[in-house]
Structure 1
Amino acid sequence: MRILSIQSSVAYGHVGNSAAVFPLQRIGIEVMPVATVQFSNHTGYGSWRGPMMSGEDVREIVMGIEERGGLAEVDAVLSGYQGGDSIGDAILDAVERVKHHSPEAIYACDPVLGNAKSGCHVAPEVQNLIRDRVVPRADLITPNQFELGFITGTSPDTLESTLASVDAARALGPSTVLVTSLERPDRAEGTIEMLAATGEGAWIVSTPLLPFKVNGSGDVTAALFTAHFRRSGDAADALARTTASVFALLERTYAAGARELRLVEAQEAYAHPDLRFEARQVR
């Protein structure tokens, strides 16, 4: 199995490709990482060093892979944060090139826009890019609860309204939606949920809510769910496996009191997830 992953890259810590690539490799996926930035660290630290790539840089790298025959037998294109039209165009061009050589490939997009606490933290250009041009081209999207509402112009809150928002998202183009960081008012106290939906149904899984926030966990979630779902075609199984792996990663990171994901230390949780969280069908 082969994935073309077009995301940011950092030398210190784990976000973007620096979070997604190793877990994918640990479960046996051949990954071709293409960097959209090459920073010293993620921007949450307030300062960083290193260059941003242009859309033309990304396009050139993908074309070079194509010239080596590397876009044949690709199973998925994965993208995360998109800094503007230039990068967005390059990613959509890469999706088109991959699907020309690998018609069964899917495009999995993590539509990074913001969150419920801080709101939308990307420029209007990026908001329009994601909502109007990228999401309609995607086969799989992995928004958080806030991003799902922003994309669809809805207010997902209860299970029923979240399912309605998922239907609205699927009507835009993606056949599969994974909603991360779902916090319903009627959920069990001290828990957080994820919900996966396809044309065949919808499933929800609940885990304890750990009292901290760490960058990069969404990138790991999107990567593992994409790989598991592409491999099996079973959304419930992909949801259960992804949840088990990511919770174990977060649990280890929280226990260490670390600011950065304990990505390497948690590697057995990717290869051999403890399937202790049931994916319950809700539709």
Structure 2
Amino acid sequence: MKILSIQSSVAYGHVGNSAAVFPLQRIGVEVMPVHTVNFSNHTGYGAWRGPLIDPADVRDVVTGIEERGAFADTDAILSGYQGGEGIADVILDAVARVKAANPAALYACDPVMGNAKSGCFVAPAIPVLLRDRVVPAADIITPNQFELGFLTGTEPDTLASTLESADLARAMGPSVVLVTSVERPDREPGTIEMLAVTPEGAWLVTTPYLPLKANGSGDVTAALFTAYYVRTRNAAEALARTTSSVFDLLRTTHESGRRELELVAAQEFYAHPQLQFEVRQVR
């Protein structure tokens, strides 16, 4: 399997491509990372160094990959945080070019905007751009519950309302919606959930809630789910494997007491997920 991943990159810590590439490689995926920024660290620290990469330069890298003939056997395109408006055009153009070379390729978009605790943390134009142009071009999207609400103009909280919101998102264009950080008022205390919705049905998985802020965990989640879904076309299996790997990554990080993801220390949990959580069909 081969994935073109157009995302940010940091030297210190793990977000964007710096979070997604290694877990994908560890499960046997060939990754072609194209960076949209080259920062010293993620912006959650409040200070960072390094450049935003001009969209024209990002496009040039994509073109160079295309010139090597790589698009014909590219199975998926993956995108995440979009720091500026110009990068969306580059991503959508790359998706069109890959799909022209391989019509079976899927585009997975992680529509990063914010979360329920922090609100939106991207430029005001980005959520609208994602909703109106990028998400409709995607085959798979991986919003958290907050982002799903913005995309669909709803307030998903119960399982029923979250399923309804996921269906509205699917009506926009994507066939597969993975909703992360699902927090239902009637869930078991001390837990958090993920929900996968496809034309074939919907599946929910529950894990213990770990009290840590883990920048990059959403990038790992989107990457692993995309790879497993593209490989199997089985949302329940992709959800089970992704949940197991990401939970053990977060548990390893929490136990370390460190701020950044323990991405390397947890590598066996990508290669050999324990599959310790039940995935139940809810529709």
Gaps of 5+ in 1: none
Moved more, 186-195 or 124-133: 124-133
For residues 147 and 269 of structure 2, the distance between their equivalents in structure 1, rounded to whole angstroms, comes to: 28
- Secondary structure of 1:177's counterpart equals strand
**Counterpart position of 1:112:** 112
Q: How does 1:158-173 map to 2 (within 5 A)?
A: 158-173=158-173
Secondary structure (helix, strand or coil) at the match of 1:97 reads helix
1:15–1:219 CA contact under 8 A, matched in 2 = yes
The Cα of 1:250 is off from its aligned counterpart by 0.3
Letter in 2 for 1:94: A
Q: Indicate whether 1:279 and 2:279 are aligned.
A: yes
- Contact 1:5/1:31, CA 8 A, preserved across alignment: yes
Give the 3-state SS of the residue equivalent to 1:169 in structure 2: helix
Unaligned runs of 5+ in 2: none
TM-score (normalised: structure 2): 0.99
- Residue matched to 1:84: 84
Aligned counterpart, 1:101: 101
SS of residue matched to 1:206: strand
Q: Which residue of 2 aligns with 1:196?
A: 196
The secondary structure found in structure 1 opposite 2:71 is: coil
2:158 aligned partner, one-letter code: T
Where 2:192 maps in the other structure, the secondary structure is strand
Shift of 1:120: 1.4
Aligned residues: 283
Q: Secondary structure at the match of 1:84?
A: coil
What is the aligned partner in structure 2 of residue 222 from structure 1?
Answer: 222
Q: Structure 1: which amino acid aligns with 2:111? A: P
- What's the CA shift for 1:15? 0.2
Q: State the partner residue of 1:152.
A: 152
* Alignment check: 8 A CA contact 1:194 1:204 kept: yes
State the Cα distance separating 1:123 from its structure 2 match: 1.7
Give the superposition deviation at 1:214.
Answer: 1.1
- Cα distance in 2 between the residues matched to 1:89 and 1:183: 33
CA deviation string 1:182-239 (max 9, x = no partner)? 0000000000000001000000000000011110000000000000000000000000
Is 1:72 the counterpart of 2:69 in the alignment?
no
Q: CA deviation at 1:13?
A: 0.5
**1:140-196: CA deviation from partner (whole Å, max 9, x where unpaired):** 000000000000000100000000000000000000000001000000000000000
Once the two structures are overlaid, the 10-residue window that deviates more, 29-38 or 47-56, is 47-56
* TM-score, normalised relative to structure 1: 0.99
CA apart distance, 1:124: 2.1
> What percentage of aligned pairs have identical amino acids?
73
Q: Secondary structure at the match of 1:204?
A: strand
Distance in 1 between residues matched to 2:281 and 2:57, nearest whole Å: 43
Q: State how far apart, in whole Å, the 1-side matches of 2:277 and 2:13 are.
A: 28
